[in-house]
Amino acid sequence: MRRTDPLIVGGGPAGSAAAIALALGGASPLLIERHAEPRDTVCGGFLGWDALAALQRLGMDPWALGAQPIRSVRIIAGHRVIERPLPALAAGLSRHTLDRALLERTAALGVEIRRGVAVRRIEGDMLHLADSQTLIAEAIFLATGKHALRGSPREDVPRETRLGLRSTLPDCPDLAGWIELHLIDGGYVGLLRQEDGRINLSLSIAADRLSRAGGTPDALMTMLADEAPRLAERVGGAADWTAVAAVPYGWRARTTAPGLFRLGDQAAVIASVVGDGIAIALASGRAAAGAWLQGGAAAAPAFQRGFAARAHRPIAIAELARTAAERPRIAAAVLAILQIPGMVGAVARLTRIGP
């Protein structure tokens, strides 16, 4: 049977936000998530003020989930350190907890969720599932994250991509209230305190640095400790790494077919060093739901163009910030510029998508 209400593929922040907004608007979407249980995806767990506002609009209270307040940023390049207040209150929360809570809210609104089954391929309005079922829908919301799904290739994906890694560390009390960014050759390491008191360590780096270090995250951390002494003091004991390859920073979906709404990292991939990917995922989910509620499946191309335009400024400025942060010689000069009062706040504000 052909579904008239949207079929959402992916139960991360983008898919859940769309499902919640659709349900609040009176629709009956079906959400398909390949994992049976929430897990910690590769993410820094930084929620900016726009993400916090977006969550509130969806009826979520991140503070009740144990989100840790973040008021200041510390940026470290070699022996240089700058410390600045953020322009508004932000938070640290693990993706495990956030994704679980979003899916619980989705289910509480009566949305049907099928977990533990992956979509293998899209063919027009048909979805082929790993359990051999086929579903047909007038509107498909593609919220599968960074990588293309068979049958829905993405155009103009940049050749130069990054590798993402994540782990946790025991608590460092002096990180309470801070997001700490260590700039390294080809990437950065982000540290913040999450709801269980542990430190979320996320890392984005050029893939060749991992292979040059010997191919394992532990070997990479040993190599980074040599070039970033302040980082070396922090990172002993990281284990249980999760990884994501080929992250296409700076990419946006400018077009789509009628009926196919691309959300989250399928719509726009912002450089993670500015910490706004979750906000983009939430904003795109809500915007796509609004577009479908008003214009049905035919609204997809206009939604996609509109969202690409909305994401242009934050993504362009984030690319400038990433390009500077990843090059040690430029990074030292950039840190000097960021010392100017108001500069850190300006960059932080200009890289937000808004709620």
Contacts to ligand FAD by CB under 6 A: 9-15, 32-35, 41-46, 51, 118-119, 143-145, 149, 164, 202, 204, 244, 247, 264-265, 272, 275-279, 281
In whole angstroms, what is the distance from residue 355 CA to residue 344 CA? 20
In whole angstroms, what is the distance from residue 280 CA to residue 136 CA? 28
Query: Pick from 63, 70, 55: which is nearest to 283 by CA?
Result: 55
Query: Which residue number, 11 or 259, has a Cβ lying nearer to ligand FAD?
Result: 11
Query: Which residue number, 306 or 339, has a Cβ lying nearer to ligand FAD?
Result: 306
Query: Which residue number, 133 or 339, has a Cβ lying nearer to ligand FAD?
Result: 133
Query: Which residue number, 247 or 341, has a Cβ lying nearer to ligand FAD?
Result: 247
DSSP class per residue in 251-313? -B-----TTEEE-GGGTB---GGG--HHHHHHHHHHHHHHHHHHHGGGGHHHHHHHHHHHHHH
Smallest distance from ligand FAD to CB 245, Å: 10
Query: Which residue number, 243 or 298, has a Cβ lying nearer to ligand FAD?
Result: 243
Smallest distance from ligand FAD to CB 53, Å: 13
Question: Are 31 and 302 within 8 A, CB to CB?
Answer: no
DSSP class per residue in 73-141? EEEEETTEEEEEEEEEEEEE--HHHHHHHHHHHHHHTT-EEEES--EEEEETTEEEETTS-EEEES-EE
In whole angstroms, what is the distance from residue 351 CA to residue 157 CA? 21
Query: Which residue number, 145 or 355, has a Cβ lying nearer to ligand FAD?
Result: 145
Which residues on neighbouring strands pair with residue 305, listed in sequence order?
none
Smallest distance from ligand FAD to CB 342, Å: 23
Helix, strand, or coil (residue 239)? strand
Smallest distance from ligand FAD to CB 180, Å: 12
Per the listing, tokens 């479908």 go with: 292
Smallest distance from ligand FAD to CB 257, Å: 18
In whole angstroms, what is the distance from residue 305 CA to residue 309 CA? 6
Smallest distance from ligand FAD to CB 336, Å: 25
Smallest distance from ligand FAD to CB 220, Å: 13
Query: Which residue number, 144 or 335, has a Cβ lying nearer to ligand FAD?
Result: 144
Smallest distance from ligand FAD to CB 315, Å: 11
Q: What is the DSSP letter of 149?
A: B
Query: Which residue number, 312 or 329, has a Cβ lying nearer to ligand FAD?
Result: 312
Helix axes 49-57, 277-295, angle to 10 degrees: 40
Query: Pick from 36, 34, 38: which is nearest to 93 by CA?
Result: 38
